[in-house]
Structure 1
Amino acid sequence: MSIVSAAVTTAVVTSPASASGVEAAATSVRVMTWNIHGSTANIPKLAAFIKRYDPDVLLVQEIQVTSQRNQVRGLAAELGWDTAAERADHVYFGRADHPGAPCGSGDDWVGNAIFTKFPIDKRVRFTLPRHSSCPGAGSVHRSLAGASVILPGSTKIAVWNTHLTVGAGAGRVQREAQARWIENYLDHTVPLVLAGDFNDVQGSTTYTIYPRAGWTDAGKNAGPTLNGKRIDYVWSKKATPTKAVSPALPQPAPGEPKLSDHRPVIVDLTIG
């Protein structure tokens, strides 16, 4: 079954409305994670690309909610999953920092969003550790957004989305502390998915924290996501990966920016 066309294998869900009417328990869920570079994001074109892969759970980093544009609401509307506020039953936005002015103030936010075809019954957000004050290395606030998602058959899965600090030196120290904090916190009995932009490569300390703690690198065979390296991940517990891909992005039209500087990662997971 092609990862482009595959969907939930035992309960195909095409909209939030149909999710509540499906009685058979899902055994396979498609997860897509993508850093969309929100400052230049073309939401309609991003949505068209996302629809090609038909994810059941979409985790987006660097998405913005500002006085000028609400990319969370816009992307939800383009996908047809929800057109209400970003705290609706199928969408959650976990803010992190202020776009263009890290550690500033105001009502404009950039952060991590969770979109799902299935209902969300719980949401939570944490600000991750920082070891430096603003301005300076590692000054951007980072967060972890989580949601409890109810699959068909009332099975629950905990979905987490994050974007760790970038850079070497102080940035690396901070990133490793964030990765450890997340792993220490995520101690649940339900199936777990943790995904996002970890800003580090396979074999790094940031990376090895997770397999040593029993996590599966679900996107291990997906391929590179940024400049020939793989720094975007889907980790899982009690959920077994069956397929993974990091598809190439289409070339932009003349004068238009790329869809993103990152490729997405798309993983099919069997729950249980």
Structure 2
Amino acid sequence: MRRSPVIVLSALLLLPPAPAQARAANVVVLDWNVRGETADMKAIAKVIRDSGANVVTLQEVHRRPGADQVRQLADELGWDLTDNAHFGAGDDVGPCDDPQPGKAGNAILSSYKIVERVTIPLTKFATCPVNRSLAGVKLDLGEGAQLRVFTTHLSPGLSQTSVGRREAQAAKVLDYFGNRSPLVLTGDFNAQPADPLSKRFRNAGWLDAGGKHANKPTHGSARIDYVYTRGMTTTSGSVLATTLSDHRPIVMRMVR
């Protein structure tokens, strides 16, 4: 028997609505080791604005009494210190055997609201060398989309002892993440792409976005600063030319 149009329409109206899907969010990540004490946060903010970055990850950031670089940068960018910034302390400011007031570490700032924060210590040295940490946030990208972003700064040096420290720190970072996705992990890893440490990250399923989109030196003639991703689509990237630090910033454009 042929159904009437009215009955068919009524049946369609009774069907449950399709589940809402999170919209695609455009994320522009800028990563930069800003060289701590000498950092000119006003000039650094201009580089960030000109790049179009809406997520900023920094290493060698200082928060000292009367000289809070996280607050300075947030103010320059017009981002709220509470909602849009996270500082993950690594160690005291100054030489590790002669600490000065304040803390040094990594920072994440974003025009997106930060809804979760975490700081994971990677070392527990009594004095020297400088202690290292991993800072992370969960960002609310809007309309159901979220993204976790992390940044770190591993120990420098080419001696066997230094390489061993760095490898141990990297192992803690990899163990912390497991197989979770989507993620963005940035930082100064003090390792070049051909080094075993860099290969460990790639073998663990991390995409070296710089290797594909911005394969240029970030410190002198070496590429030791990285933007690693999982579950993200990176569309383009670049290493910016600037002398504001001894490191050059990396910019990656991606879609969540």
SS at match of 1:97: strand
User: CA offsets per residue over residues 3-59 of structure 1, 9 Å max, x none?
Assistant: xxxxxxxxxxxxxxxxxxxx9823321111000012101111111111110111100
**Equivalent of 2:136 in 116, 123, 146:** 146
RMSD between aligned residues: 1.8
Identify, as 1 or 2, the structure richer in helix.
Answer: 2
The TM-score, its normalising length taken from structure 2, stands at: 0.86
Tell me how far apart the structure 1 counterparts of residues 179 and 75 of structure 2 sit (CA, whole Å): 32
Aligned to 2:204: 213
User: CA offsets per residue over residues 84-107 of structure 1, 9 Å max, x none?
Assistant: 4xxx11100001111213166564
Tell me how far apart the structure 1 counterparts of residues 193 and 179 of structure 2 sit (CA, whole Å): 25
Q: Give me the identity figure in percent.
A: 37
Aligned to 2:254: 269
SS at match of 2:149: strand
Aligned to 1:248: 241
Structure 2 residue 225 is matched with structure 1 residue 232? yes
Structure 2 residue 64 is matched with structure 1 residue 66? yes
2:226 counterpart letter in structure 1: Y
1:227 counterpart letter in structure 2: G
Deviation at 1:129, TM superposition (A): 3.2
1:119 counterpart letter in structure 2: K
The TM-score, its normalising length taken from structure 1, stands at: 0.81
Count of aligned pairs: 233
Tell me how far apart the structure 2 counterparts of residues 108 and 229 of structure 1 sit (CA, whole Å): 31
**Equivalent of 1:38 in 18, 36, 39:** 36
Tell me how far apart the structure 2 counterparts of residues 93 and 226 of structure 1 sit (CA, whole Å): 23
Structure 1: 4+ residue segments shifted above 4 A: 103-107
Larger Rg: 2
2:230 counterpart letter in structure 1: K
* Contact kept? 2:117, 2:137, Cα under 8 Å: yes
Tell me how far apart the structure 2 counterparts of residues 103 and 185 of structure 1 sit (CA, whole Å): 29
In structure 2, list runs of 5 or more residues that go unmatched. 1-20
Tell me how far apart the structure 2 counterparts of residues 201 and 146 of structure 1 sit (CA, whole Å): 23
User: CA offsets per residue over residues 115-140 of structure 1, 9 Å max, x none?
Assistant: 0111111101011035x6533xxx10
1:248 counterpart letter in structure 2: A
Identify, as 1 or 2, the structure richer in strand.
Answer: 2
Tell me how far apart the structure 1 counterparts of residues 169 and 98 of structure 2 sit (CA, whole Å): 21
